[in-house]
């Protein structure tokens, strides 16, 4: 597992090395586990407080290219 972003002192966005398709990241922390698809950036599964989701989705959109590059390095 690789933490790509930490915010609000308890949340993080993770890219997991051994994970299933489609390409996605996990938003975790404070009892939250949300899967965020990378193409297109969208919520696949789970819920979180709206402000947390907004911040996470904004960050993922801004770093989508790098996240996808990392995903395909680990999941050829």
d(CA 29, CA 70): 22
**Domains held by the chain: number:** 1
Domain range holding 18? 2-74
Do residues 62 and 45 touch, judged by C-beta distance below 8 A?
no
* Whole-number pLDDT of residue 10: 94
Q: What is the mean pLDDT of residues 59-66?
A: 97
Residue 1 has pLDDT above 70, yes or no: no
Considering only 3-7, 32-36, 41-45, 61-65, which range has the smallest mean pLDDT?
3-7
Residue 76 pLDDT class (50, 70, 90 cuts): confident
| CA-wise closest residue to 19 among 39, 35, 30, 43 | 35
Which pairing describes strands 11-15 and 24-29: parallel, antiparallel, or unpaired?
A: antiparallel
Residue 43 has pLDDT above 70, yes or no: yes
- Which segments of the chain does DSSP mark as H helices, in order? 50-62, 64-74
Residue 60 has pLDDT above 70, yes or no: yes
């Amino acid at each position: 597992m690789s933490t790509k972003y930490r915010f609000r002192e308890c949340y993080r966005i993770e890219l997991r090395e051994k994970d299933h398709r489609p390409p996605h990241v996990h938003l975790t922390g404070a009892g939250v586990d949300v899967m965020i698809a990378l193409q297109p950036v969208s919520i696949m599964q789970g819920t979180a407080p709206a402000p947390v989701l907004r911040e996470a989705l904004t960050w993922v959109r801004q770093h989508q290219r790098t996240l996808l590059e990392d995903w395909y390095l680990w999941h050829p």
